[in-house]
């Protein structure tokens, strides 16, 4: 089975920039001596045959210098459009190089353990899709107008992570047929079409850099941030 990964780096990181005034998009911040996006690439490469980066060509060429990756393609306005751009780029490869399986990974998620990636790939032998997830530990409340409106049973609630894995042709076809909503993950497209998606154990360390607080947790795992000179 030929496995490709699409590495997403076309976002601008609005939620992160709002609290940090960072001059570069969050996935290009240097943590422990390497850009976040490079940590993500280094973590995936041992497990895949092809890596397709999506985002700014120059920024990606700098951050991924020396790695064996496909030429970057530009992303879109939404995450869903960026995934689609990556899938179409893989689809343009000659038949013999086209993947059977594809992983979709957030470039802002630098610390994905190898076991998590392996578990996702392994689950694809039996399911058309598989995602890593961790069970929700906190008690979850619904709220309205500043007061509790109810408690949500949490025993079947999970937080979805990436890399999410799929049979390539299925995900490509679902993206081609999908309405232009902004699905925040790819499993949602399979769910909507009635396909089974396996849940495999994720990791509490598989953090997505979304807010400033996430940077502090990632610094503890990886190393200090090198702030770009302004
Ligand atoms: N992403 C992308 N193209 C987009 C939007 C997001 O490739 N149009 C990527 C981001 O670069 C990130 C991943 O998808 O690696 C997860 O998205 P998210 O954490 O939401 O990043 P941003 O969209 O950049 O952040 P925000 O939503 O706060 O603006
Ligand atoms: Mg976003």
Q: What is the pLDDT of residues 53-81, one digit of tens each?
A: 999 999 999 999 999 999 999 999 999 99
Which ligand gives the minimal distance to the CA of 107?
Answer: 1
Q: Per residue in 96-144, pLDDT tens?
A: 999 999 999 999 999 999 999 999 999 999 999 999 999 999 999 999 9
* pLDDT given at position 58: 97
Indicate whether this complex's ipTM tops 0.95: yes
Query: Tell me, what's the pLDDT at 184?
Result: 79
Name every protein residue with a CB atom under 6 angstroms from any ligand 1 atom: 8-16, 27, 54, 75-79, 82, 106-108, 208, 210
CA distance 126 to 109: 26
pLDDT digits (tens, 9 = 90+) for 187-222: 999 999 999 999 999 999 999 999 999 999 999 999
Confidence check: pLDDT of 229 > 60: no
Q: Chain-wide mean pLDDT for the chain?
A: 95
In sequence order, what E strands does the chain have? 3-9, 30-31, 34-35, 50-55, 101-106, 129-135, 140-144, 147-152, 158-160, 164-167, 197-201, 225-226
Confidence at residue 228, expressed as pLDDT on a 0 to 100 scale = 60
pLDDT at residue 116, rounded to an integer: 98
Tokens of 157: 């609630």
> Which atom of ligand 1 is the closest one to the Cα of 10?
7
Does residue 19 have a pLDDT over 90? no
The pLDDT of residue 22 is 79
Q: Residue 126 Cα, ligand 2 centroid: separation in angstroms?
A: 30
């Amino acid at each position: 089975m030929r496995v490709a990964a699409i590495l997403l780096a076309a976002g601008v990181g609005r939620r992160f920039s709002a609290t940090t005034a960072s001059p570069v998009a969050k996935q290009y911040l240097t943590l422990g001596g390497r850009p976040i996006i490079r940590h993500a690439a280094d973590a995936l490469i041992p497990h895949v045959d092809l890596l397709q980066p999506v985002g700014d060509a120059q920024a990606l060429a700098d951050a991924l210098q020396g790695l064996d990756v496909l030429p970057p393609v530009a992303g879109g306005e939404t995450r869903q459009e960026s995934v689609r751009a990556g899938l179409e780029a893989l689809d343009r490869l000659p038949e013999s190089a086209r993947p059977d399986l594809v992983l979709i990974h957030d470039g802002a998620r630098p610390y994905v353990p190898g076991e998590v990636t392996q578990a996702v790939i392994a689950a694809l032998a039996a399911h058309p899709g598989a995602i890593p997830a961790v069970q929700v530990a906190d008690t979850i409340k619904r709220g309205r107008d500043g007061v509790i409106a109810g408690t949500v049973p949490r025993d079947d609630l999970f937080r979805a992570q990436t890399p999410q894995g799929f049979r390539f042709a299925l995900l490509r076809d679902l993206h081609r047929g999908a309405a232009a909503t902004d699905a925040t993950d790819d499993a949602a497209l399979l769910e909507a079409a009635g396909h089974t998606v396996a849940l495999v154990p994720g990791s509490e360390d598989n953090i997505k850099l979304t807010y400033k607080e996430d940077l502090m947790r990632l610094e503890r795992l990886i190393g200090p941030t090198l702030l770009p000179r302004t």
